[in-house]
Amino acid sequence: MDGSLVLEDGTAVRGAFFGARRRVFGELVFNTNMTGYTEALTDPSYRGQILMMTYPLIGNYGVDPETMESETIQPTGFVVREACAAPSHPRSSLALSEFLKTYETPAIERADTRALTIKIRSKGTMKAALVPAKEDVDAVAREVRKSPHPDTRNLVGEVSCRRVERYPGSGKRTLVVVDCGVKRNIIREAQRYADVIRVPYDATSDEILAHKPDGVILSNGPGDPAHPEIRATAVKAAKDLVGRTPLLGICLGHQLLALAFGGKTYKLKFGHRGGNQPVKDLRSGRVHITSQNHGFAVDPDSLPSSEFEVTHLNLNDGTVEGMAHRELPIFSVQYHPEARPGPWDNEYIFRDFVAELKGA
């Protein structure tokens, strides 16, 4: 037991390192998926966080790099109950421990993830550190408390692309994806309907419109949507695009659209992270099981009711999961319609967006 997870409230949990052995800080969050750990580890929305899996056995089918959702591991650290040392799957090319070491990501196993999850559900997410077990945990806890919260950083700027990238698709139309930390599968799903142009999060509305898009997708991503640097860039661009092109917001993009129309966002106690979140479509009455990864939500009372209607609600806590403009082709969802990992129930969101495009 050569490692420790130390929380800001002084809790210290011993474990065994099975990834890189180094000191890291982050916000401890939990994910309830049974599978999909490779996709979760490479989801840019986890930037600045220490990811803990609630399912007790992780790594049993190894790692297939083809399932990565970005170019690197995004969380600062990883915590599991048991890491499988002998994975078995025909598409696996390396063990989870090798994958973590390749990207210098520290991870510990043998931690009591059940007790930690109960603590987070009770008290909310906390800042934490992964350190060698020989360190003084009281001193580490004090250091964790003094450390700035990851949300104070421009995490979107850390994960966004630096230049325009193009992805050939159907050739029938063009979609621009504003990369706030986009998962690869959002681009893949968009390619089924259009050629895709990926632009940095701080692209201006004029720069976006210069590509003559038939529609614009505001992507998922990490951190606080109301961060000053995000308000000055992605939120401003979204506001400037209103009425000039159809808009679809996904996860963080959903929150950015709310802010662009004068709405407000707030931080959830422990967020929604996993592939089993029930969401009700208020228009059809149908309930979908969704894949989610977010720590903030839209305040429904802050939305201009004359312009927006809430279209989806989370059945666990009643939070806003979707909204639509009453007149313009603008709508958004808080969950991930592209899945990876998670159920594929919600691919229709992309189809519905394409149906809103001019000439579709």
Domains, in order of start, for the chain: 3-152 (3.50.30.20), 155-356 (3.40.50.880)
Q: What is the pLDDT of residue 203?
A: 98
Please state, in angstroms and rounded to a whole number, the distance separating the CA atoms of residues 241 and 276: 33
Q: What is the pTM of this model?
A: 0.96
Q: What is the pLDDT of residue 146?
A: 97
Please state, in angstroms and rounded to a whole number, the distance separating the CA atoms of residues 179 and 35: 26
Q: What is the pLDDT of residue 1?
A: 86
Return the DSSP state at 301: G
Strands 107-109 vs 82-83: parallel, antiparallel or unpaired: unpaired
Residues assigned a catalytic role: 251, 336, 338
Contact 284, 252 (CB under 8 A): no
**pLDDT tens across the length of the chain (360 residues):** 899 999 999 999 999 999 999 999 999 999 999 999 999 999 999 999 999 999 999 999 999 999 999 999 999 999 999 999 999 999 999 999 999 999 999 999 999 999 999 999 999 999 999 999 999 999 999 999 999 999 999 999 999 999 999 999 988 899 999 999 999 999 999 999 999 999 999 999 999 999 999 999 999 999 999 999 999 999 999 999 999 999 999 999 999 999 999 999 999 999 999 999 999 999 999 999 999 999 999 999 999 999 999 999 999 999 999 999 999 999 999 999 998 888 888 999 999 999 999 765
Residues 6+ apart with CB under 8 A from 293: 31, 40, 43, 45, 46, 220, 251, 271, 272, 273, 336
**Burial degree of 167 (CB within 10 A; 0-12, 13-18, 19+):** middle
Please state, in angstroms and rounded to a whole number, the distance separating the CA atoms of residues 92 and 107: 20
Please state, in angstroms and rounded to a whole number, the distance separating the CA atoms of residues 284 and 154: 38
**Burial degree of 173 (CB within 10 A; 0-12, 13-18, 19+):** middle
